[in-house]
Structure 1
Amino acid sequence: MVEVKSGAIEVNSGLREEVESHGHALDFGSRSHAEDYARQESASDGELRVQAAPENEPRDVDAYLLADRSPSIAEPAEIDGETLAFDVGANLYGALGEAIPIHAPKPHALVYFVREDLDIGDNNLEWGLNVDVEPGRLLPIERGDERRRWTPDCVVEAKAGWSGRMLERYYCEIRTGDASFERAQVATMEELAKEERVLKIRVDIDSLPDQYSLRSHEVEPTEQDE
């Protein structure tokens, strides 16, 4: 559940209409859906961003929808002749981190992770290792009578050669810098981890353009229901 804050309503007329129709608590099903909504609404009016709720939030709230107060996202921070310099807001910062593993010409960091995880050397596979990275799709996940949904940021498939057998599949959620994972989202990932490999990936882009860092942490499954 995402709580809409008053500052976000003030800067964005489309969001204001949404709140008037559905209230201040909006259910998007996943953080990626909430961030897609924030980007869509930001394109036509005031900038919005999604911020994870702290773990000690007493209410059933996973995240907040806030006004992105960075002063120079829509307007240049500096103009030098024909060069316009813009600040990087929270939404763009997150998108830059996601782009490295998902949209790179070759996902070297993920390929290295897969090789280490599966203990694959250069000569282990006759036709080599092929790693495909695809955008995630909405996954319905059931736990007893409860039905949850999660859209991973990407799905990594490791195959023996271009058309070979499937070696492993990983469902991944990506955060840039110290951005948080929502409690409800993590619970859904833990449920999926009973049957699939699920990864939390954190990308640090503060040293770009020279370097970036990537850390992968496997999600442990929730305990089986008795």
Structure 2
Amino acid sequence: MTRHQVLVVEDEEEMQGLYQRFFEQAHAAEFSWLLAKDADSALTRLAGEPLDLVILDWTLPGLPGLAVLKALRQDARTRALGVLMVTGRSSPEDAVEALEGGADDFLPKPFDERVLLARLRSLLRRRQLNMEGHRIYELLGLKWDLDADRLWVDGRRVRLSPKETDLLRVFLERPDMLHSRAYLWDMVWGYEAATWEHILDATLSSLRRKLGPRWGGRLETHKGKGFSLTTA
């Protein structure tokens, strides 16, 4: 099962502890998470991390949450992310301001963790529906029919294993972004293994070979950092 990557932007220690318990104990099989304690850290994470969802606190040191939200929506790499705005404010006017500012949902504090889980799952369903609106993926000679699970590269039919398929999907969902080895393993396999790096390398090597010289060469290795799919 692929885990969904969530960035939590929160400066209060009590709330950080709540999120840690939520993601690492109660729902570790479904989500992985990153923490940013202020706006600057959040913007750095947003620029460099492959993410699925953002939980964004309204009140932050430095820039307010709404300013982070605006920057997120203006960047082509992050504008499609699902964003849940969390705040101690609870008036209808605050909710309207957050939603019109670009948030996908609004959750006042304090909240029940069951409600948080339901909101996150709802955002993921919406994101999946948006992705499924384009069931044929085409880019630079690569064509992937997601409904039929058929892949062609430069007119040649390519058959991938399930893990190769999952790995390629991670790269295609976030092209031109650097993915660490640990992130790829977590997204595709999601369990601990003594030989995980060998398994990842072998799967990447097989994927490159099957894609052929032109597309396989786009899966670039960044020594000591990870891998990326280059489309430029």
Q: Provide TM-score, normalisation by structure 2.
A: 0.32
Bigger Rg, which one: 1
More helix by share: 2
Q: Provide TM-score, normalisation by structure 1.
A: 0.33
More strand by share: 1
